[in-house]
Amino acid sequence: MRHKVTLIPGEGIGPEVAAAVRAILEAAGVQIDWEEVEARSDKASATGQFVTEGAVESVRRNRVALKGPMGTAIAGGAPSINVALRKTLDLYANVRPVKNLPGVKSRFENVDVVLIRENTEDLYSGLEHEVVPGVVESLKIITEKASTQIAHFAFKYAKREGRKKIHAIHKANIMKLSDGLFLKSIRNVAPQYSDIEYKELIVDNACMQMVLNPQQFDMLLLPNLYGDVMSDLAAGLVGGLGVVGSANVGNEAAMFEAVHGTAPDIAGKGLANPTALLLSSIMMLDHLGERSAARRIESALEKVHREGKHVTQDVGGTAGTAEFTQAVIGSLRPS
């Protein structure tokens, strides 16, 4: 089956890793018509627009997108294009599977946990103001609607992917109303999925448990801020942001993206590691129903990392982007 997918290569190393992923998917025989669109942070700051209309329209039309990294100004400047895209397209669920990749050095083995993060509200609503000079207020928005929606998403994901247990992460002992509503909403949903074990954990304890014994977790369900922090923490357990994929999913569209940044220090030098975007593209293939191609690419990627001969410098190898890409293509089993 042919698919039409929006490609937002992004900035810095984005175009390099996007080209590598395209080549691997094509070699695997997946039939995709890519609609390449631009969404750049330099345009955002120049025009005051967060995203080009073209990018949003294209994702709305095709319902599936693959996206490279984009720069974001810190403490001032234009708002994040990444956050704007997620909001505009109402991609309310962030999905981050975290699993050891054979051959990639990490502090833990046998980690296999999926983090589901509510993506649209909490302290990311951007509702901040200066009350008086020297005092600012930032509003944490939690709604029953969004919390219930993300709960259903997580439990359905668990059923579909054969997962057994979900921990909801919160700080409702202190934020009794906001995190309390998040928890209550999930508690209303959990009994509808009685085959999935449901547990709760306070976020500080959850962080400690994750770095002590991450293998005890199957799935975590988190509000936006804790989800942002813990999903990077989780990636760190298996080797960092370069070896995990990510998806932002809504009812109308899904956008699969690499979670590392634009890597300005190596951009344009042919050194970037496409693994993260490739893992995101494997999630995209599963979403598109291309499960067999997804498994073939996954095995080829694991083989290249396990052998370690053609991996990039960030994971201890000597290969450039092109050599790594060719190694993955050469390791694809016939379909």
Residues that bind ligand NAI (CB under 6 A): 13, 17, 69-72, 82, 242, 257, 259-266, 272-273, 276, 312, 314
Q: At closest approach, how far in Å is the CB of 167 from ligand NAI?
A: 25
Q: At closest approach, how far in Å is the CB of 179 from ligand NAI?
A: 26
Name the residue nearer to ligand NAI (CB basis): 314 or 323.
Answer: 314
- 296 by DSSP, 3-state: which? helix
Q: How many other C-beta atoms lie within 10 A of the C-beta of residue 212?
A: 8
Name the residue nearer to ligand NAI (CB basis): 20 or 183.
Answer: 20
Q: Closest Cα partner for 98 from 226, 195, 242?
A: 242
Q: At closest approach, how far in Å is the CB of 298 from ligand NAI?
A: 18
* 8 A C-beta contact, residue 21 and residue 324: no
Q: At closest approach, how far in Å is the CB of 308 from ligand NAI?
A: 16
Name the residue nearer to ligand NAI (CB basis): 33 or 265.
Answer: 265
Q: How many other C-beta atoms lie within 10 A of the C-beta of residue 2?
A: 7
Q: CB under 8 Å to 209, separation ≥6 — which residues?
A: 201, 216, 217
Q: Closest Cα partner for 243 from 202, 194, 282, 209?
A: 282
Name the residue nearer to ligand NAI (CB basis): 142 or 259.
Answer: 259
Name the residue nearer to ligand NAI (CB basis): 16 or 290.
Answer: 16
* 8 A C-beta contact, residue 272 and residue 17: yes
Name the residue nearer to ligand NAI (CB basis): 74 or 135.
Answer: 74
Name the residue nearer to ligand NAI (CB basis): 147 or 321.
Answer: 321
Identity of the residue numbered 234: A
How far is residue 314's CA from residue 294's CA, in Å, rounded to a whole number? 24
Element housing 6 (H / E): strand 2-8
Residue nearest to ligand NAI (CB): 261
End-to-end CA distance of the chain: 15
Q: At closest approach, how far in Å is the CB of 187 from ligand NAI?
A: 32
Q: At closest approach, how far in Å is the CB of 311 from ligand NAI?
A: 11
Q: At closest approach, how far in Å is the CB of 14 from ligand NAI?
A: 8
Tokens of 251: 């009812």
